[in-house]
């Protein structure tokens, strides 16, 4: 009977891959990192570190802004995207990488004032798409984060 060789975990950082420790997470179409579903800061950090190019720096900036704005924020990776929420109240925000931008989804964004600019097929959801050279209004995004976290969140169903 043949024994199978154990496979290495696929969630190593790009730095580990560059140092000869194996490849980092697989990038899906559009450059979105494939990170296993998990709760906590570690899988979100793994996702952010695996974001290609300039997106990783902006991902770190967004993550820090969310943490500063909502101390104790709940974090997880679901459907290969970081989610942010309030314990017992659901998710209020998600991130997703596309080829040329990062999409910030506010799950109850239609209730925010002013609403984020991007419309969705879901009338409750609004998006902020951030391209590489777009200005980033940190005060406005922090205000949307505060407003979104105060609303009932999305339960993921």
Per-residue pLDDT in tens (0 to 9) along the chain, 157 residues: 444 444 333 333 333 333 334 467 888 888 899 999 999 999 999 999 999 999 999 999 999 999 999 999 999 999 999 999 999 999 999 999 999 999 999 999 999 999 999 999 999 999 999 999 999 999 999 999 999 999 999 987 6
Entry pTM: 0.83
Q: Is 51 exposed, middle or buried (0-12, 13-18, 19+ CB in 10 A)?
A: buried
Q: Please state which CATH class domain 26-150 belongs to.
A: alpha beta
For 24-68, give the DSSP string: -PPB-GGG-B----EESHHHHHHHHHHS-THHHHHHHHHHHHHHH
Tell how far CA 50 is from the center of its chain: 11
């Amino acid at each position: 009977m043949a024994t199978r060789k154990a496979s290495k975990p696929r969630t190593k950082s790009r730095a580990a891959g560059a140092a000869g420790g194996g490849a980092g997470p697989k990038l899906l179409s559009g450059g979105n990192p494939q990170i296993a579903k998990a709760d906590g800061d570690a899988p979100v950090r793994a996702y952010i570190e695996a974001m290609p190019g300039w997106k990783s720096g902006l991902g770190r900036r967004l993550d820090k802004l969310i943490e500063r704005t909502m101390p104790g924020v709940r974090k997880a990776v679901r459907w290969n995207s970081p989610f942010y929420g309030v314990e017992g109240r659901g998710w209020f925000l998600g991130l997703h990488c596309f080829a040329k931008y990062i999409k910030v989804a506010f799950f109850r964004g239609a209730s925010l004032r002013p609403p984020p600019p991007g419309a969705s097929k879901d009338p409750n959801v609004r998006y902020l798409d951030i391209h590489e050279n777009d200005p980033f209004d940190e005060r406005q995004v922090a205000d949307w984060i505060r407003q979104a976290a105060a609303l009932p969140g999305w339960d993921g169903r």
